[in-house]
């Protein structure tokens, strides 16, 4: 830089000296100086003109040769321009690669702004969701109007995914997930899960059909076994008959539980199923049944119930879920143990809780307890009449009621199973906690 300016200053000094020398000969110093200065300014104008012309031609060729400050100015400009061009090319290449990849992606990808308005979408989004270029800027919930999808988007809890039928072809089953990123931006990704859904449907139908088909012959078999065990002729094989009868009874219970699960899975809870459930009365009945089940085992079954607390839900389903938890407590608590059944509300909603001081569960089993046929100790479960399906039924019923199951347990100390119902499922009205022994 300094060199260029030194050249420039020398050039000016040169022009002035030339003016002085001419002045020496002509003896008209002022005119001579003016003349050389004008020449100098003219030369500067000419450089400016060349620079301008080069800029206007699009700076494609190298800058015209120039020395001093002008040379540096043009060269520096040219260098920056070339660097920018390279960068632009790189960004364009990246962008092309990104659009090519996203176009080849089988999943729909839609970028949404903070108001869920579409900013960009890929080709698959056009195919699966029917989005068109003119939809950019429109709200996604105005275009995909399935209630489950709208509830998912507006619910702002994106840990789970949501399934809904395709807007263009209702035979398609789509699975959507929203991933928040950056400053309140969202990526909506939608997969076609039709094949998986059909397989799952086939599995459900198969289990439901098999259970249904087995139900009648099993009823007949248990009926005949009942009659046979009562006959005097079977006296020599009576212990055997009792065994057979108890196994047939177990099969019947498994079939009933499988059918109950199939019903929970195939039919959605519709508003007609939802009633005001008098949970306190329900709990009293369940506790009574539990005392019968406990029989001679000297267990104490206590209820602590908010007598005015009611819930919106399907009564038979809630009965089945609560009864399963209480019967588990009876079956997995030693003779003389204590079981407390609670029904109460707090700020987080309503809670149904069963606490026992029974055998408890090792922590590694807890995440898997609600899987079908998952048992900590198969023998103990079977011996106590368990089907291995009880907690799976509980989980499904709770899911359908927007509730969740919490399990706290310590081996050898006991367990606490809590069903947490959201506040909007509670029927308004307050009450006090009352205790009843048993």
Q: Which residues bind ligand ADP (CB under 6 A)?
A: 324, 328-329, 332, 356, 358-361, 369, 374-377, 381, 386-392, 415
C-beta closer to ligand ADP: residue 153 or 329? 329
C-beta closer to ligand ADP: residue 36 or 387? 387
Task: Write down the least CB distance from residue 303 to ligand ADP, Å.
Answer: 16
Length of the chain: 438
C-beta closer to ligand ADP: residue 149 or 417? 417
Task: Write down the least CB distance from residue 354 to ligand ADP, Å.
Answer: 7
Listed in sequence order, the DSSP H helices in 231-314 are 238-266, 279-294
Task: Write down the least CB distance from residue 391 to ligand ADP, Å.
Answer: 3
The rounded distance, in Å, linking the Cα atoms of 166 and 134 is 20
Please name which of 154, 156, 112 lies closest in space to residue 137, comparing C-alpha atoms. Answer: 112
- Torsional sign, CA 219, 222, 227, 228: positive
Question: How many other CB atoms are found less than 10 A from the CB of residue 82?
Answer: 12
Task: Write down the least CB distance from residue 281 to ligand ADP, Å.
Answer: 23
C-beta closer to ligand ADP: residue 122 or 409? 409
The rounded distance, in Å, linking the Cα atoms of 386 and 380 is 8
Q: Which two tokens stand for residue 415?
A: 């367990």
C-beta closer to ligand ADP: residue 101 or 247? 247
The rounded distance, in Å, linking the Cα atoms of 257 and 369 is 16
Task: Write down the least CB distance from residue 301 to ligand ADP, Å.
Answer: 13
Task: Write down the least CB distance from residue 375 to ligand ADP, Å.
Answer: 3
Task: Write down the least CB distance from residue 359 to ligand ADP, Å.
Answer: 5
C-beta closer to ligand ADP: residue 153 or 330? 330
DSSP 58: T
Please name which of 26, 48, 49, 30 lies closest in space to residue 38, comparing C-alpha atoms. Answer: 30
C-beta closer to ligand ADP: residue 193 or 293? 293
C-beta closer to ligand ADP: residue 124 or 258? 258
The rounded distance, in Å, linking the Cα atoms of 300 and 342 is 14
| Max Cα-Cα span within the chain | 156
Which uninterrupted H or E stretch holds 179?
Answer: strand 173-181
Sheet of strand 275-277: strand arrangement:
275-277, 310-313, 426-427
Task: Write down the least CB distance from residue 392 to ligand ADP, Å.
Answer: 6
On whether the CB atoms of residues 234 and 228 are closer than 8 A, the answer is: yes
């Amino acid at each position: 830089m300094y060199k260029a300016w030194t050249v420039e200053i020398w050039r000016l000094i040169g022009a002035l000296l030339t003016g002085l020398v001419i002045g020496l000969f002509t003896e008209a110093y002022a005119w001579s100086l003016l003349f050389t200065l004008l020449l100098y300014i003219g030369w500067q104008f000419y450089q400016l003109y060349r620079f301008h012309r080069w800029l206007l031609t699009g700076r494609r060729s190298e800058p015209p040769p120039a020395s001093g400050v002008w040379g540096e100015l043009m060269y520096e400009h040219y260098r920056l321009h070339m660097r920018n061009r390279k960068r632009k090319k790189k960004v364009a290449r990246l962008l092309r690669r990104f659009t090519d990849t996203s176009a080849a992606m089988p999943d729909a990808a839609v970028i949404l702004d903070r108001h869920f308005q579409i900013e960009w979408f890929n080709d698959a989004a056009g195919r699966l969701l029917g989005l068109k270029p003119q939809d950019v800027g429109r709200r996604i919930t105005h275009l995909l109007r399935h209630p489950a999808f709208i509830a998912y988007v507006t619910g702002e809890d994106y840990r789970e995914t949501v399934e809904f039928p395709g807007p263009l072809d209702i035979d398609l089953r789509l699975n959507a997930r929203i991933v928040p990123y950056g400053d309140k931006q969202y990526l909506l990704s939608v997969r076609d899960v039709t094949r998986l859904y059909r397989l799952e449907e086939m599995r459900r139908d198969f289990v439901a059909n098999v259970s249904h088909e087995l139900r009648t012959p099993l009823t007949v078999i248990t009926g005949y076994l009942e009659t046979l065990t009562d006959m005097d002729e079977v006296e020599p094989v009576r212990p055997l008959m009792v065994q057979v009868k108890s196994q047939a009874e177990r099969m019947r219970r498994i079939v009933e539980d499988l059918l109950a699960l199939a019903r929970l899975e195939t039919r959605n809870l519709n508003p007609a199923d939802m009633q005001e459930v008098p949970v306190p009365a329900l709990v009293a009945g369940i506790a009574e049944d539990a005392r019968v089940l406990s029989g001679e085992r000297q267990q104490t079954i206590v209820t602590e119930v908010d007598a005015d607390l009611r819930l919106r839900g399907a009564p038979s389903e809630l009965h089945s879920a609560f009864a399963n938890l209480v019967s588990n407590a009876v079956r997995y608590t030693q003779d003389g143990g204590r079981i407390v059944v609670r029904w109460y509300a707090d700020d987080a909603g309503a809670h149904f809780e069963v606490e026992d001081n029974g055998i408890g569960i090792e922590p590694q089993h807890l995440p898997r307890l609600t899987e079908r046929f998952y048992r900590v100790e198969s023998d103990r479960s079977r011996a106590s009449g368990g089907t291995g399906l009880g907690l799976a039924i509980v989980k499904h019923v709770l899911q359908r009621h927007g509730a969740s199951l919490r399990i706290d347990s310590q081996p050898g100390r006991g367990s606490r199973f809590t069903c947490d119902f959201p506040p909007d499922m509670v029927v308004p009205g307050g009450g006090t906690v009352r205790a009843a022994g048993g």
